[in-house]
Amino acid sequence: MNKAKRKAVIAGNWKMNKTPAEAKTLIEGIKPLVKDAGCGVVCCVPYVDLSVVLEAAKGTNIGVGAENCHWEKSGAYTGEISAEMLASMGVQYVIIGHSERRQYFGETNETVNKRVRAALDAGLNVILCVGESLAQREQGITSELVALQTKIALGGVSKDELKRVIIAYEPIWAIGTGKTATSAQANEVCKTIRETVASIYDADAAEALTIQYGGSMKPGNAPELLAQPDVDGGLIGGASLKPDDFAAIVKAAD
Ligand code: 13P
């Protein structure tokens, strides 16, 4: 598998952090530090911050994303936001299936699949998250679980549409815990995801797919993780809220 064929992408996931005013300060802090990045740079931000961040990122190399979307175009779904709404604002990316959505908001592989479909139909790029809990890892079912999450989420997605999908491997036990998967662990699961994609589509599609690692990625561990043959980028939580740290990770991906 040829890593040079794939685009490295570093994406920040701001989660439920930053008011619009704070978001403006953060994006303005990030902008100059990543302007010469050789890799793709994306900031996924809370819905209420999208306008401010889109405006600030206009004409820069920073892509802007949301953190979720609903699968219907519109209707009686109080509190939800559709993929169309995001696309109409100029949003380019959306995170789908983050473990925090699965864990705390009852999202299932099936609803993740519906959201992926809706996002692609609206013309968005998808950052699809998969990953195992500590109990699942200890049970030895990581590969099977991640393969299943990947297969269900990509149901009905064509090979052409797959070009607009990034998959992020995020072991739940490494998120926000300071515990990082070793680079070998991260690579092993990213490789499993690539093999799964090859089995659904073909070797070309798998080889072109950008697969990120996420879970306590920091400037200190990013170079080793990003040097792995099947790790093509990172989905960054905590460190994406600190311009210097985020920029250092972007630099490591270059
Ligand atoms: P942390 O980088 O804070 O561990 O979060 C990772 C994550 O969940 C990104 O989506």
Share of the chain above pLDDT 70, in %: 100
CA distances from 144 to 86, 130, 136, 169 (A): 33, 12, 10, 14
Q: How far is the CA of 13 from the centre of ligand 1 (A)?
A: 7
Ligand 1 binding pocket includes 180 (Cβ within 6 Å): no
Ligand 1 binding pocket includes 84 (Cβ within 6 Å): no
Amino acid, res. 41: V
Distance (Å, whole) CA 63 – CA 11: 9
Whether residue 162 is predicted with pLDDT greater than 90 in this model: the reply is: yes
Whether residue 4 is predicted with pLDDT greater than 80 in this model: the reply is: no
Q: What pLDDT is attached to residue 176?
A: 84
Q: What pLDDT is attached to residue 179?
A: 82
Catalytic residue among 98, 100, 107, 132: 98
Q: What pLDDT is attached to residue 1?
A: 55
Q: Read off the pLDDT of residues 212-248 as tens digits, 9 standing for 90 and up.
A: 999 999 999 999 999 999 999 999 999 999 999 999 9
Q: Read off the pLDDT of residues 102-125 as tens digits, 9 standing for 90 and up.
A: 999 999 999 999 999 999 999 999
Q: What pLDDT is attached to residue 224?
A: 97
Mean pLDDT of 91-107: 98
Whether residue 30 is predicted with pLDDT greater than 90 in this model: the reply is: yes
3 state SS of 155: coil
CATH topology of domain 9-253: TIM Barrel (3.20.20)
Q: 108 exposed, middle or buried (CB, 10 Å; 0-12, 13-18, 19+)?
A: exposed
CA-nearest residue for atom 5, ligand 1, is: 237
Ligand 1 binding pocket includes 212 (Cβ within 6 Å): no
Query: How many other CB atoms are found less than 10 A from the CB of residue 105?
Result: 10
Q: What pLDDT is attached to residue 165?
A: 98
Q: Which atom of ligand 1 is nearest to the CA of 174?
A: 4
Domain spans of the chain? Answer: 9-253
Q: What are phi and psi of 187, to 5 degrees?
A: -65, -40
Q: Read off the pLDDT of residues 46-66 as tens digits, 9 standing for 90 and up.
A: 999 999 999 999 999 999 999
Q: Which residues of 129-151 are buried (b: 16+ CB within 10 A; e: fewer)?
A: bbbbbeebbeeeebbebbbebbe
Ligand 1 binding pocket includes 124 (Cβ within 6 Å): no
The pLDDT mean for the chain works out to 97
Q: How far is the CA of 153 from the centre of ligand 1 (A)?
A: 20
Q: What are phi and psi of 104, to 5 degrees?
A: -100, -15
CA-nearest residue for atom 7, ligand 1, is: 237
Q: How far is the CA of 77 from the centre of ligand 1 (A)?
A: 28
Out of 235, 240, 242, mutate this one to test ligand 1's pocket (max ligand atoms within 8 Å of CB): namely: 235
Whether residue 91 is predicted with pLDDT greater than 70 in this model: the reply is: yes
Ligand 1 binding pocket includes 215 (Cβ within 6 Å): yes
98 has catalytic annotation: yes
Q: What pLDDT is attached to residue 177?
A: 87
CA-nearest residue for atom 9, ligand 1, is: 237
Mean pLDDT of 147-163: 98
